[in-house]
Chain A
Amino acid sequence: MRDSKHALESVIHGAFLLLGLITVGCVLLITVYLILSGIPAIRQIGLFKFLFGRTWASTASTPQFGILPFILTSVYGTAGAMAIGVPVGFLTAVYLAKAAPPAVKGAVGAAVSMLAGIPSVVYGLVGMLVLVPGIRTLFHVPDGASLLAAIVVLAVMILPSIVNVSVTALEAVPREYEDASLALGATATETYFRVSVPAARSGIAAAVVLGVGRAVGEAMAVMMVSGNVANMPSLFQSVRFLTTAVASEMSYSSGLQRQALFSIALVLYLFILLINAALNFFLKRGKEE
């Protein structure tokens, strides 16, 4: 009786261990698959030519597979989205965490989580019909589907990540810090920006990094507003991101072209792993502080 109970316990323990290891298994699966399917094309094309080639012409008679335009578009697009999204998100977060009256905080907080919940294709759709024509008429360019449109859409899409993580960090700042600052004669607003924000800097940095990850990884919304042509990035040109490069040719690709798409995904994955490592670094430092 005792033995059978013991055996049952070990079996169940084993089963839960297996469940626990599933996440690790999934990460390994994804990593191994991307490496296995991404390496062949890079070897055939040549690493340097692949990463720094300036022309992507996958269906030409002498195909060229240079992904520098995609890498730079992703970098510039993300940087642009951060330039707009970070200040707005950061200031919103300080307001929500410190200055807002409870009712306003509830309303704006709900708005922010709504922003996080809206599907990316809906952003893409609104971007296509509002933003793209808007850019065309405002800047007198032939086509509004451009890097700029993608930047604006991404800036809106990363707002909730930045706001939510920053608010959490700001709310964790010990009350005593702020009380001390107030007692020394600083006003409330000065205290928020000169005491609370520096104290929460790791968490805010984590928020920014999380936003970078979201922007780099977004595919559908960007695909719908950026025009999707493999140009070198320029604000009013139609461009293609790393994510959209994978998505846009997948359905009709074959052979080396298809393998090159897997290689692009591998490059994207490496970017994301780097960003995740940075995120973890800031989160851990935030906890230690």
Chain B
Amino acid sequence: MRRGISKKRRAYIALMRALMGLSAGLTAALVLFLVVYVMAKGIPELSWDLLTTKPSYLRGTIGILPDILNTVYIIIAALVFVLPLGAGAAVYLTEYARNKRLVAVIEYAAETLSGIPSIIYGLVGMLFFCSLLNMQTSLLAGALTLVIMNLPTVLRTTQESLKTVPQSYREGAFGLGAGRWRVIRTVVLPGCVDGIVTGCILSIGRILGESAALLFTAGFAHAIHGFFQALEHSGATLTVALYVYVKEAGEFGVGFAIAAILMVLTLIIQLAAALAGRYFKRRRGS
């Protein structure tokens, strides 16, 4: 087959194939380097004391337990709001909205939201939640800022999954005399569980990695609180703590320890997202 090909063409093909392989190889090597480097630097820094204490000025020790707790709290608080809001908006768009114009406006708004840089969310969150609504710098203000940020993610994943609920299910339910709300409750919502779960996983990943939006909304305190108490107080998440320890205190060891934790969590989330995707696909197929 290759016999009739001129030298020039053969050179072009070889060049393009080489460039493609090189680029893909470079991308894969980059990821491998990042994971291995962060793990190699970070895991030796991890210790039981680091993970289970809070920083102490008296003893001059650093502990990241408060930051771990804050991260968990802020994820829970943000999800509690964003999942119903995002899923509800998706239900409206696919089940209720008849006005094409309105749908287009809402979808454009969602796209705009997903393009806004996190530093701008942080700024507006600071002005709106912390100052105007008088929440001060607190985990709740940070969580609410993250709610706005993750709204488009949950909206999109739920919308995708609603589209896969067969129209005939809805028609069948309507045909049996069910009202729209009943149809949504019994037929539509069970069908969008996978979208909500996927949106949930993606949001957790994004919140875990977020820092710029939290610096000025959730702040960087390292105190240990219970869940509801913590929401009223300022607190650093793992990413913010990494930034503060590295940039302001020059504590690179702690930075790498946190980075290694974040890396492991990111890997877990990637795995969870992939597994969930595969599971839902298979279930839909059968």
A interface with B by C-beta (< 8 Å)? 5, 8-9, 12-13, 15-17, 19-24, 26-27, 29-30, 33-34, 37, 87-92, 94-96, 99-100, 104, 107-108, 110-115, 117-122, 124-126, 128-130, 156, 159, 163, 185, 187, 189-190, 192-193, 213, 216-220, 223-224, 243, 246-247, 250-251, 262, 265, 268-269, 272-273, 275-276, 279-280
Q: Is B76 in the interface zone, CB < 8 Å from A? A: no
Rounded to whole angstroms, the CA-CA distance of A23 and B107 in the bound complex is: 8
Which of A9, A29, A88 has the most CB atoms of chain B within a 10 A radius of its CB? A88
Q: Cβ of B64: which chain A residues have Cβ within 8 Å of it?
A: none
Contact check, A26 vs B255: say whether CB atoms are below 8 A apart.
no
B interface with A by C-beta (< 8 Å)? 2, 4-5, 9, 12-13, 16-17, 19-24, 26-28, 30-32, 34-35, 37-38, 41, 84-85, 88-89, 91-93, 95-97, 102, 105-106, 108-113, 115-124, 126-128, 148, 151-152, 155, 179-181, 205, 208-212, 215-216, 239, 242-243, 246-247, 252, 255-256, 259, 262-263, 266-267, 269-270, 273-274
Contact check, B118 vs A217: say whether CB atoms are below 8 A apart.
yes
30 sample A-B contacts, Cβ–Cβ < 8 Å, listed by A number:
A5-B179, A12-B180, A13-B180, A16-B95, A19-B91, A20-B93, A27-B113, A33-B128, A37-B127, A94-B20, A104-B24, A108-B28, A114-B31, A114-B266, A115-B31, A118-B34, A122-B34, A130-B37, A187-B5, A187-B13, A190-B13, A193-B16, A216-B117, A220-B243, A246-B119, A246-B123, A247-B119, A247-B122, A251-B216, A280-B108
Of chain B, the residue at the smallest CB distance from A123 is B34
Q: Cβ of A119: which chain B residues have Cβ within 8 Å of it?
A: 208-211, 239, 242, 262, 266
Contact check, B92 vs A276: say whether CB atoms are below 8 A apart.
no
Contact check, B115 vs A272: say whether CB atoms are below 8 A apart.
yes
User: From residue A42, how far is it (CB to closest CB) to chain B in Å?
Assistant: 16
Please judge, given known A-B contacts A5-B179, A17-B92, whether A224 and B148 are in contact too, CB under 8 Å: no
Contact check, B37 vs A268: say whether CB atoms are below 8 A apart.
no
Contact check, A33 vs B127: say whether CB atoms are below 8 A apart.
yes
Q: Cβ of A121: which chain B residues have Cβ within 8 Å of it?
A: 209, 211, 239, 242-243, 246, 259, 262
Contact check, B13 vs A217: say whether CB atoms are below 8 A apart.
no
Q: Cβ of B243: which chain A residues have Cβ within 8 Å of it?
A: 121, 124, 220, 224
Contact check, B92 vs A120: say whether CB atoms are below 8 A apart.
no
Please judge, given known A-B contacts A16-B92, A16-B96, A111-B32, whether A27 and B181 are in contact too, CB under 8 Å: no
Q: Cβ of A34: which chain B residues have Cβ within 8 Å of it?
A: 120, 123-124
Q: Cβ of B263: which chain A residues have Cβ within 8 Å of it?
A: 118, 122
Of chain A, the residue at the smallest CB distance from B212 is A219
Of chain A, the residue at the smallest CB distance from B23 is A91
Contact check, A268 vs B117: say whether CB atoms are below 8 A apart.
yes
Pairs of residues from A and B, 4 with the lowest C-beta to C-beta distance, nearest first: A217-B117, A20-B92, A119-B209, A19-B88
Contact check, B123 vs A262: say whether CB atoms are below 8 A apart.
yes
Rounded to whole angstroms, the CA-CA distance of A113 and B27 in the bound complex is: 11
Of chain A, the residue at the smallest CB distance from B155 is A23
Rounded to whole angstroms, the CA-CA distance of A239 and B190 in the bound complex is: 52
Q: Cβ of B2: which chain A residues have Cβ within 8 Å of it?
A: 187
Of chain A, the residue at the smallest CB distance from B116 is A272
Contact check, B267 vs A114: say whether CB atoms are below 8 A apart.
yes
User: From residue A74, how far is it (CB to closest CB) to chain B in Å?
Assistant: 11
Q: Cβ of B88: which chain A residues have Cβ within 8 Å of it?
A: 15-16, 19-20
Contact check, A111 vs B181: say whether CB atoms are below 8 A apart.
no
Contact check, B151 vs A95: say whether CB atoms are below 8 A apart.
no
Rounded to whole angstroms, the CA-CA distance of A243 and B119 in the bound complex is: 7
CB < 8 Å neighbour of B113 from A26, A110, A275: A26
Contact check, B96 vs A20: say whether CB atoms are below 8 A apart.
yes
Q: Cβ of B126: which chain A residues have Cβ within 8 Å of it?
A: 250
Rounded to whole angstroms, the CA-CA distance of A87 and B23 in the bound complex is: 8
Contact check, B274 vs A110: say whether CB atoms are below 8 A apart.
yes
Please judge, given known A-B contacts A111-B31, A268-B120, A272-B115, whether A88 and B23 are in contact too, CB under 8 Å: yes
20 additional contacts (CB under 8 A) given A112-B27, A114-B270:
A19-B88, A20-B106, A23-B89, A26-B113, A29-B128, A37-B127, A91-B22, A92-B23, A99-B20, A114-B267, A115-B30, A118-B263, A119-B209, A119-B262, A125-B255, A190-B13, A220-B239, A220-B243, A251-B215, A265-B119
Q: Cβ of A276: which chain B residues have Cβ within 8 Å of it?
A: 111-112, 115
Please judge, given known A-B contacts A21-B106, A121-B242, whether A269 and B120 are in contact too, CB under 8 Å: yes
Contact check, B24 vs A108: say whether CB atoms are below 8 A apart.
yes
Contact check, A91 vs B24: say whether CB atoms are below 8 A apart.
yes
Q: Cβ of A219: which chain B residues have Cβ within 8 Å of it?
A: 117-119, 212
Contact check, B124 vs A243: say whether CB atoms are below 8 A apart.
no
Rounded to whole angstroms, the CA-CA distance of A224 and B211 in the bound complex is: 12
Rounded to whole angstroms, the CA-CA distance of A117 and B209 in the bound complex is: 7
Q: Cβ of B111: which chain A residues have Cβ within 8 Å of it?
A: 276, 279-280
